[in-house]
Structure 1
């Protein structure tokens, strides 16, 4: 089934359409991050006016049950009272100081108490800064130059990491990026995700040159790809054996699949971990942390330089503290798991009953629908899923009031604000859409 043209859609998006035309005159593609342009599904983006609880409201007055959640951080929902109060009070004291505040230490302690592998942490302003800085630490600590990443894993837009990246790069069909000199990526080795033999071969070839392996423990930028049994364990084994560092990029999975992230679920201890999204409660933030002896190479304690004028911003720290305090209350992750299981089992039943060429992948408060029956273990598998059917599904669900990621290479997110009734209604809507596609 081909995706709808704008004239065929019943949803009124006239104001969004006008705003997008205006935005394109002053911003590249009319957006400040590529996936927002809706290129992966065709058509033009929805302009959001506000969020409230589990819902988004666009500028045309349409309401959507939100499964994008600003790409992950809104795990409590929009306008959560304690978070809103914390940010309001912090704003009264000042937006930024460029000086230490107590809130930085408080949020650091909350992260460290929740994630045992982290003994020291440094806050930055984005996930890109976190991964870029963690890799610089790894090179400084080991005295080596090469890094290993996995094809389709997205670790931000630093030059050395734009090698076979996923997410927006995958959506736009760009295997790399113009403007990145070849010498910048000369020390970046890219290996297929979940390919045990390939990573073994890389270490056989470059064992004494590899500073670090960076991995999304759940690959959430090519849809949602779970690690096959033994894959993450092998990475831990190889890095430990050859003196390289293991970096878990938990920007997406941190505080979402468990309080301690994916490393808690699989009981693997990385050397460094990158965070973002949830630890800022919806405000711009990133962080990297790990073993004390490794983090001690960071300036001003050590020689590796990294800085940021707005790092540890008081508003972001306040939102992060309030969010993590809520998440650390007993039963929160059990509740998220119950909701995820309810939705996942419902969708799986619908896929079976409609005999759809599709599958659901889920873990914790994350899920993804692939329009293929073939198993998805890596980026090449993910790209075989039908982009056309996903686009049709996306627009049909939007018509019914569900805001999903506008790309088949992105994960959906659940929040504590979503009720079981919301999820049951969504399952019914998915069934209707899939029967129409059949």
Structure 2
């Protein structure tokens, strides 16, 4: 595999950007490689500047449920661009988009557009604190809710990969009101509410943690969060930056049947363009300026390009429920193929799946929390990753992320992937 051009670009990039990248998980540092630089993508395939073709299981970290550049979404965007890319004043498409989201998410009454998942979670917590007149928040080990200061505590993904569970530069005073529990641990939740319940403004949780691999929340765990936050008048926030519209068209509400008080969305509502949103019950959202006292603003919030793409994306998902049926079938096929691989090779590893999110953990299961995930054999994963990449399969360059399937992935893609992973496991483990 020739990566000469990528290597040259990377050398130049390191002169002008920290680590040569604009997000640490793109660096490939943890797997001992230089990053790939991408030229284009179409459907389930992505192509680097050296002309190498890969079946893509990153899918821009989740939002590309229809694959790369689907014609039914990108057709017509030139006309939107010609009309203007940003106005700084309202547009009708923002209203249309908000209506679609609220109708799809039965737990919320109103939504506010922002520009990223980090903005969404940061803003939702500010609103929840103002609504409850409390300061403490509860999060869970291994759940990543963006890089705002108060949430960079045992936060998963890149912070696990690079060994920074609490980032330098975050003052102690900022995180003193951030409580942390073990994911899926019911007793720990009960204990912390018994001690701090009347001080807890909000509980924020990924219903399926996608930043320590794929770790689904247990039904009884999520139900306890719903029940105990009601008991103590705390706000329950579902962070659906990864799971929103991916697990189900009605997101986690449709998948688990549990309603939060607030929700945060990310790039999927822009079909991959920079966007985010947070929403909640009307009495909570009435706290947000200009109606209420909680200030939050953004020049590019509700950007017409992102709204156009996102609206088309959600309309397609809404009007074609068979997309979810097919994604479930394909993800099941992939997960069962991976399980078969590790059984044939005698490897005591674990495959977790939730909807179209799949992860092969290099550790004995079950994998239910951050502690379980940290038992993974990272050196073995790194060797495996390189072998998989040689075979034209692009995975996230870390053990602690999901494989994201799209509607563009074919049965042939999945069958080839299963075979390639078998070979990569066999060679990387000297079997």
Normalised to the residue count of structure 1, the TM-score between the two structures is 0.96
Following TM superposition, by how much is the alpha carbon of 1:86 offset from its aligned partner in structure 2, in angstroms? Answer: 4.0
Hey, what's the Cα distance between the residues in 1 that align with 2:352 and 2:221? 18
Q: 5+ residue gaps in structure 1?
A: 1-10
Greater Cα shift, 85-94 or 147-156: 85-94
Which residue of 2 is the match for residue 139 of structure 1?
A: 129
Q: 1:254 aligns with which of 244, 253, 260?
A: 244
Hey, what's the Cα distance between the residues in 1 that align with 2:325 and 2:110? 28
Hey, what's the Cα distance between the residues in 2 that align with 1:330 and 1:203? 39
Which residue of 2 is the match for residue 155 of structure 1?
A: 145
2:207 alignment partner, SS class = coil
Which residue of 1 is the match for residue 119 of structure 2?
A: 129
- RMSD (Å), alpha carbons: 1.0
Following TM superposition, by how much is the alpha carbon of 1:357 offset from its aligned partner in structure 2, in angstroms? Answer: 2.6
Hey, what's the Cα distance between the residues in 2 that align with 1:95 and 1:394? 39
Following TM superposition, by how much is the alpha carbon of 1:374 offset from its aligned partner in structure 2, in angstroms? Answer: 2.9
Following TM superposition, by how much is the alpha carbon of 1:167 offset from its aligned partner in structure 2, in angstroms? Answer: 1.0
What are the equivalent positions in structure 2 for 1:7-406 lying under 5 Å apart?
Answer: 11-328=1-318, 329-406=320-397
Runs of 4+ in 1 over 3 A off after TM superposition: none
Following TM superposition, by how much is the alpha carbon of 1:205 offset from its aligned partner in structure 2, in angstroms? Answer: 0.6
Determine if contact 1:40/1:408 at 8 Å carries over to the other structure: no
Hey, what's the Cα distance between the residues in 1 that align with 2:33 and 2:326? 36
Q: 5+ residue gaps in structure 2?
A: none
Greater Cα shift, 145-154 or 342-351: 342-351
Following TM superposition, by how much is the alpha carbon of 1:82 offset from its aligned partner in structure 2, in angstroms? Answer: 2.0
Hey, what's the Cα distance between the residues in 1 that align with 2:200 and 2:12? 47
Following TM superposition, by how much is the alpha carbon of 1:21 offset from its aligned partner in structure 2, in angstroms? Answer: 0.7
Hey, what's the Cα distance between the residues in 1 that align with 2:158 and 2:219? 28
Which residue of 2 is the match for residue 8 of structure 1?
A: none
Determine if contact 2:338/2:360 at 8 Å carries over to the other structure: no
Determine if contact 1:86/1:318 at 8 Å carries over to the other structure: no
- 1:130-167 CA distance string (max 9 Å, x none): 00000001001100000000011100000000111111
Which residue of 1 is the match for residue 420 of structure 2?
A: 429
2:253 alignment partner, SS class = helix
Following TM superposition, by how much is the alpha carbon of 1:292 offset from its aligned partner in structure 2, in angstroms? Answer: 1.2
Hey, what's the Cα distance between the residues in 2 that align with 1:223 and 1:90? 37
Hey, what's the Cα distance between the residues in 2 that align with 1:363 and 1:375? 14
Hey, what's the Cα distance between the residues in 2 that align with 1:247 and 1:192? 17
Following TM superposition, by how much is the alpha carbon of 1:110 offset from its aligned partner in structure 2, in angstroms? Answer: 1.1
Length, aligned pairs only:
428
Hey, what's the Cα distance between the residues in 2 that align with 1:372 and 1:322? 40
Hey, what's the Cα distance between the residues in 2 that align with 1:89 and 1:360? 44
Following TM superposition, by how much is the alpha carbon of 1:88 offset from its aligned partner in structure 2, in angstroms? Answer: 2.2
Hey, what's the Cα distance between the residues in 1 that align with 2:41 and 2:311? 21
Hey, what's the Cα distance between the residues in 2 that align with 1:315 and 1:408? 33
Hey, what's the Cα distance between the residues in 2 that align with 1:345 and 1:278? 26
1:207 alignment partner, SS class = helix
